Amino acid sequence: MTKVLVATDKPFAKEAVMKIEEAVKSAGLEIALLEKYSSKAELLEAVKDANALIVRSDIVDREVIEAATELKIVVRAGAGYDNLDLEACTEKGIVAMNTPGQNSNAVGELVLGMMVFMARNGFNGASGTELRGKKIGIHAYGNVGQYVATIAKGFGMEVYAFDPFVAKEVIEKAGITPIDTVEELYSTCDYVSLHIPATPQTKESINYDLLTKMPKGGVLVNTARKEVIHEAEILKVMADRPDFVYISDIAPDNKAEFEANYKGRFFFTPKKMGAQTEEANVNAGVAAANQIVGFFKNGDETFRVNK
Ligand code: 3PG
């Protein structure tokens, strides 16, 4: 029987697990669950006889791929697939997929939620600021960026977007002002919300030069990946610009330095939680299960991300 392993260090909501099970079993496939595993060895053992694998941000590197000798397909239940070794998948003839858009609303809501939290001084009762009338720049107008833009408009913010891969007309049609260069996005906007993927090209691309272009009181919101931030340089921004605020859904490696020196000017979630809602878990998890079923039943490779 074809075995689908759901391996999630950060477990899906119970409801999502039930629905994934339903989707897998009703297609006549078998399911196994590995949650909150404490070591990579556990994952290596569990993947041995799996024909399909569903993961979240779990690291599926060459070692995992090589241990998974029966694997035909791995689906990252989510958008970013920087945790999958695509080259190793391709070499072993394994199809790799993501489930784009399925968890985007959850991330979008968290962006605005964290912005309000910081604008109101962590809800400490001191007088804060409002989002209405402020300018927000969407750095990459993909699925999450689109949700952020829509919600930000609801708050009465002026919305701008920079995305060299999206036609200006598409952005304009959504009532958003397209911006030609990344530098202009940062120099224009009070808030910038980051939605670029982590790739060799984007790694550490959010640096001192870019961030210091932001107007006084500039706020960077990062729900993308910590790897895209130049950590040494953002610390220099924090030091040189006492008005600058950094919000991130996942703490940077140099979190201790923020805690020691910049209290009240940063907020980091304790664990990446942008997509951690019951709805997002159900959407992404069930999509992953259905994509696996479609792959085994009909050879459907929609959402394949490797060659
Ligand atoms: C994604 O890329 O979809 C998000 O970063 C969510 O990641 P998670 O499934 O680990 O919460």
pLDDT tens digits, 139-178: 999 999 999 999 999 999 999 999 999 999 999 999 999 9
Query: Across the strands, what pairs with 8?
Result: 35
Q: Where are the beta strands (DSSP E) in 166-218?
A: 177-178, 191-194
Distance 37 CA to ligand 1 centre (A): 17
Looking at the fold, whether 285 and 263 belong to one and the same domain comes out as: no
Q: Is residue 192 part of a domain?
A: yes
Q: Is residue 84 part of a domain?
A: yes
Q: Is residue 188 part of a domain?
A: yes
Q: At what angle do helices 278-298 and 104-119 cross, to 10 degrees?
A: 160
| pLDDT tens-place string over residues 125-146 | 999 999 999 999 999 999 999 9
Q: Is residue 303 part of a domain?
A: no
Mean pLDDT in order along the chain per 10 residues (307 residues)? 98 98 98 97 98 98 98 98 98 98 98 98 98 98 98 98 98 98 98 98 98 98 98 98 97 97 97 97 98 98 97
272 lines ligand 1 (CB under 6 A): yes
Looking at the fold, whether 82 and 23 belong to one and the same domain comes out as: yes
76 lines ligand 1 (CB under 6 A): no
Residue 32 has what pLDDT? 98
CATH of the domain at 27: 3.40.50.720
276 lines ligand 1 (CB under 6 A): yes
Q: Is residue 176 part of a domain?
A: yes
Looking at the fold, whether 95 and 110 belong to one and the same domain comes out as: no
Residue 140 has what pLDDT? 98
Query: 235 to each of 206, 208, 260, how far by Cα in Å?
Result: 12, 9, 12
Looking at the fold, whether 119 and 40 belong to one and the same domain comes out as: no
Query: Across the strands, what pairs with 307?
Result: none
Looking at the fold, whether 138 and 215 belong to one and the same domain comes out as: yes
Residue 111 has what pLDDT? 99
Pocket test of ligand 1: the residue of 10, 57, 196, 278 to mutate, having most ligand atoms within 8 Å of its CB, is 57
Looking at the fold, whether 286 and 250 belong to one and the same domain comes out as: no
Looking at the fold, whether 109 and 19 belong to one and the same domain comes out as: no
Residue with tokens 């979190």: 255
Residue 217 has what pLDDT? 98
Residue 296 has what pLDDT? 98
Q: Is residue 284 part of a domain?
A: yes
Task: Report the predicted TM-score, pTM, of the whole model to 2 decimal places.
Answer: 0.96
Residue 101 has what pLDDT? 98
Looking at the fold, whether 117 and 252 belong to one and the same domain comes out as: yes
The boundaries of the domain holding residue 150 are 104-268
Looking at the fold, whether 250 and 156 belong to one and the same domain comes out as: yes
Looking at the fold, whether 18 and 62 belong to one and the same domain comes out as: yes
Give the total number of structural domains in the chain: 2
Residue 137 has what pLDDT? 99
Q: Is residue 14 part of a domain?
A: yes
Looking at the fold, whether 112 and 248 belong to one and the same domain comes out as: yes
56 lines ligand 1 (CB under 6 A): yes
CA distance 42 to 27: 27
Q: Is residue 304 part of a domain?
A: no
| The two structure tokens encoding residue 119 | 């604008």
Looking at the fold, whether 111 and 260 belong to one and the same domain comes out as: yes
Distance 44 CA to ligand 1 centre (A): 21
Residue 175 has what pLDDT? 97
* 298 phi and psi angles, rounded to 5 deg: -125, 5
| pLDDT tens-place string over residues 77-104 | 999 999 999 999 999 999 999 999 999 9
CA distance 278 to 42: 26
